[in-house]
């Protein structure tokens, strides 16, 4: 990749503190060079996509040196209707063999049940129009945007992994990034996916206590130094009451969760359950879907999100977060999945 020597020399001359002080201010000089990796037709034509065969992957960006990914846009034309779960997003930092991000594509974009929705928040934006997509075979497609800042020191690799037997006929993408003369941050962006399948469980009588978080759905457990950014939680609820589950966070190995919530709907910014889809910058309901045959109006499929941009949760040694599946896990008959987003050295 061509990097002008004069530009890099200028950036290198800046102190790190000065760079960090004004890099985010739009009315100040920006200490980087803007760049993009995309599926644009190299010949200037309109063949602006690649095809990804079944059980194969495609590297959409292979970046060298120091920099920061600031925006990713995708759209896919799949052969598999379940592509939102069978397609995975993988991101590797600084030449490492293990991905820091390895998440089903739909779940990463706060869509946990395989159906697109139009919504926008501080970090994710999905432009969906399934009822108007008469010109595509599968109308369950959209434009997927993410705006998580993703710094790196020695390079980055972004991969789309198609785990389906069927091909993705067309993958369009734009990865917008910055070229820096020195690493813009010691932190690396991470995202992790977890599942808790439904269990045969009866609700215990009364309101038992659960101070230790036993049987909770695990959202994140990690060791190191960094801060927690937020989560998407998706529930396939066969009945109501699941939103009585509390969120719990243990910081730096503490025995008792020092951050404890009052209910699932409370952590995700709602109250008295979830009644509709809505999207705010830092919390919202991206999916609320009733299921035929479930008579309880509180049952259905839900995806909810919460981001801590204004209130990140720092840790120096370790971090663990989980959430009850109903009060004291009395709704373990509901399926839970989640994506945790965090930064870590």
Please state which CATH class domain 15-185 belongs to.
mainly beta
Average pLDDT over residues 70-80: 97
What is the C-alpha separation between 110 and 277, in angstroms, rounded?
12
Average pLDDT over residues 66-83: 97
pLDDT at position 5 over 60: no
Predicted confidence at residue 170, as pLDDT, reads: 97
pTM for this structure? 0.92
Q: Which of 62-76, 192-206, 247-261, 281-295 comes out lowest in average pLDDT? A: 192-206
Predicted confidence at residue 142, as pLDDT, reads: 96
Chain centroid to Cα 26, Å, comes to 26
Q: How far is CA 98 from CA 92, 193, 307, in A?
A: 7, 15, 25
Residue 198 pLDDT level (bands cut at 50, 70, 90): very high
Residue 182 pLDDT level (bands cut at 50, 70, 90): very high
Predicted confidence at residue 321, as pLDDT, reads: 98
Look up residue 343 and give its two tokens.
């930064």
Hey, is 5 helix, strand or coil?
A: helix
Predicted confidence at residue 204, as pLDDT, reads: 65
Average pLDDT over residues 267-276: 95
Quote the percentage of the chain above a pLDDT of 70.
Answer: 91
Query: What is the residue extent of each domain of the chain?
Result: 15-185, 189-344
What is the C-alpha separation between 270 and 262, in angstroms, rounded?
11
Q: Which of 218-227, 314-323, 325-334 comes out lowest in average pLDDT? A: 325-334
Residue 97 CB neighbours (<10 A): 5
Helix (H) or strand (E) holding 226: strand 226-237
pLDDT at position 82 over 90: yes
Does 189-344 match 15-185 at the fold level?
A: yes
Predicted confidence at residue 284, as pLDDT, reads: 98
Predicted confidence at residue 201, as pLDDT, reads: 65
What is the C-alpha separation between 68 and 58, in angstroms, rounded?
21
Residue 116 pLDDT level (bands cut at 50, 70, 90): very high
Hey, is 85 helix, strand or coil?
A: helix
Chain centroid to Cα 199, Å, comes to 26
CATH for the 189-344 domain, from 3.40.50.300, 2.60.120.1390, 2.60.40.1930, 2.60.120.10: 2.60.120.1390
Predicted confidence at residue 132, as pLDDT, reads: 84
Q: How far is CA 208 from CA 211, 230, 241, 326, 331, in A?
A: 10, 28, 14, 11, 13
* DSSP β-bridge partners for residue 235: 302, 336
pLDDT at position 14 over 50: no
pLDDT, tens digit, for every residue of 218-254?
A: 999 999 999 999 999 999 999 999 999 999 999 999 9
What is the C-alpha separation between 228 and 344, in angstroms, rounded?
9
pLDDT at position 19 over 60: no
Residue 134 CB neighbours (<10 A): 6
Q: Which of 92-106, 118-132, 220-234 comes out lowest in average pLDDT? A: 118-132
pLDDT, tens digit, for every residue of 254-264?
A: 999 999 999 99
């Amino acid at each position: 990749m061509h990097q002008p020597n004069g530009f890099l020399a200028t950036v290198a001359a800046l102190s790190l503190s000065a760079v960090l002080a004004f890099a985010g201010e739009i009315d100040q000089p920006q200490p980087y060079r803007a760049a993009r990796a995309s599926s644009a037709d190299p010949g200037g034509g309109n063949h602006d996509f690649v095809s990804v065969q079944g059980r194969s992957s495609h590297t959409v960006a292979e970046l060298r040196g120091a920099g920061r990914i600031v925006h990713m846009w995708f759209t896919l034309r799949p052969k598999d209707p379940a592509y939102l779960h069978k397609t995975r997003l993988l991101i590797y930092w600084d030449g490492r063999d293990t991905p820091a991000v390895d998440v089903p594509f739909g779940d990463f974009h706060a869509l946990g049940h395989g159906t697109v929705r139009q919504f926008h928040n501080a970090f994710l934006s999905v432009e969906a129009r399934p009822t108007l997509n008469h010109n595509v075979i599968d109308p369950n497609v959209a434009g997927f945007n993410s705006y998580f800042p993703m710094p790196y020191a020695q390079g980055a690799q972004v991969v789309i992994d198609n785990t389906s037997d069927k091909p993705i006929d067309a993958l369009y993408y734009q990865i917008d990034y910055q070229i820096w003369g020195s690493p813009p941050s010691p932190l690396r962006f991470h995202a992790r996916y977890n599942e808790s399948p439904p269990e045969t469980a009866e609700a215990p009588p009364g309101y038992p206590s659960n101070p230790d978080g036993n049987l909770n759905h695990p959202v994140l457990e990690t060791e190191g130094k960094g801060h927690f950014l937020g989560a998407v939680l998706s529930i396939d609820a066969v009945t109501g009451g699941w939103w009585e589950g509390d969120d719990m966070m243990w910081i730096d190995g503490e025995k008792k969760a020092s951050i404890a919530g009052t209910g699932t709907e409370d952590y995700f910014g709602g109250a008295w359950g979830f009644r509709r889809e809505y999207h705010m910058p830092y919390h919202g309901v991206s999916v609320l879907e009733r299921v035929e045959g479930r008579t309880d109006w509180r049952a259905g499929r839900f995806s909810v999100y919460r981001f801590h941009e204004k209130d990140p949760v720092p840790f120096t040694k370790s971090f663990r977060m989980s959430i009850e599946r109903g009060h004291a896990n009395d709704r373990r008959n509901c399926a839970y999945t989640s994506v945790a987003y965090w930064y870590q050295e």
